[in-house]
Amino acid sequence: MTTTDPAVSVRGVGRRLGGVQALQDVSFDLPAGAVCGLLGRNGAGKTTLMAVVAGHDRPDAGEVAVHGERPFENPAAAGLVSMVRDDQRYPDDFHLAHLLRVGPLFHAGWDAQLAEEVVDVFRIPAKPQLRKLSRGQSSAVGILVGLASRAPVTVLDEPTLGLDAPSRQAFADLLVRDLAARPRTVLVATHLADELEGLLDRVLVLDGGRLVRDAALEDLQGSASVVLGPVEAVERATADVGVLASRRVGGFLERVVEEPGGSARAAEDPALQVRRAGLQELVAALGAGPGPAATPRPDRLTEVSR
């Protein structure tokens, strides 16, 4: 294996769950050492994709490799990837002490010192059973497992759910520091795209089970704009650019467009406001379709009453 080999390679992956096509022909590579944000609305297929990458589930079509190994039912891949779900379950009688004791049994690279630091930073209580912890405390336990495992590929499903702002910042600080000391590949699903933007090297956006965007963060930043103003003026200024999403409020129209400056005509019209679209806005626009397996429309208009 060379240093240019991807840490994660996904080729033509499909997965059907019940009557829903959760993933459709998904392909991408994650380079070793990258932090990748997996973004999209609820039901887009994020958790299914992470489970397939982690070897917790098997795709119906396509192939997945983690550092060259097939992750599903493959002992050789067991130590290569660690996934912590947002609804991670533990044995009913498990306390924090049990988790700290068994962690090294499942993860060869387990860092006990880092685990204890996470306990202190997030003040994870020792006495309650893990299943009785609050939403934020459960997220802190997930962060503990994800960071302390130090698996070459670490998959985190909504790691900051229920955490307050200082705790979310503490997570970001811990992740940055630990990655500097022990580089690894991180795939993190989050609804707080703007908040974690500074951590990301790459962004994957899912919508309806399809991968609708796969790009380096620097290529996404500034790639879209928001144009706001009177309906006719916005429509005229954006007639010749790609419109990702539209929102109308009374006589005003707001459009997210695939143009860094909004369009030449928008920039010249004093009646219009033009600004760079944030990552969260861009993700929302890309995932504004009507549901799983839907074909994205070129212009999605939402009427909002006063």
Domains of the chain by residue range: 6-219, 222-304
Task: Report the pLDDT averaged over residues 145-157.
Answer: 95
pLDDT at 294 over 80: no
Instruction: Give pLDDT tens digits for 242-278.
Output: 999 999 999 999 999 998 877 777 888 899 999 999 8
Of 186, 120, 197, nearest to 147 (Cα)? 186
On the question of pLDDT at 170 being above 80, the answer is: yes
Angstrom distance (rounded) from CA 168 to CA 289: 30
Q: What is the mean pLDDT of the chain?
A: 89
Which of 11-15, 149-153, 242-246, 287-291 has the weakest average pLDDT?
287-291
- The C-alpha angle with vertex 109 and arms to 165 and 4, in degrees rounded to 5, equals 90
pLDDT tops 70 at residue 32: yes
Q: What pTM value is reported for the model?
A: 0.85
* Distance between CA atoms of residues 196 and 172, nearest Å: 7
Taking the CA atoms of 269, 272, 273 and 274 in sequence, report the sign of the dihedral they define: negative
Distance CA 103, CA 9 (A): 27
Is 287's pLDDT higher than 80? no
**Mean pLDDT in residue range 147-162:** 94
Question: For position 260, what pLDDT does the model report?
Answer: 82
CATH number attached to the domain at 6-219: 3.40.50.300
Helix, strand, coil proportions of the chain in percent (round to 5)?
35, 30, 40
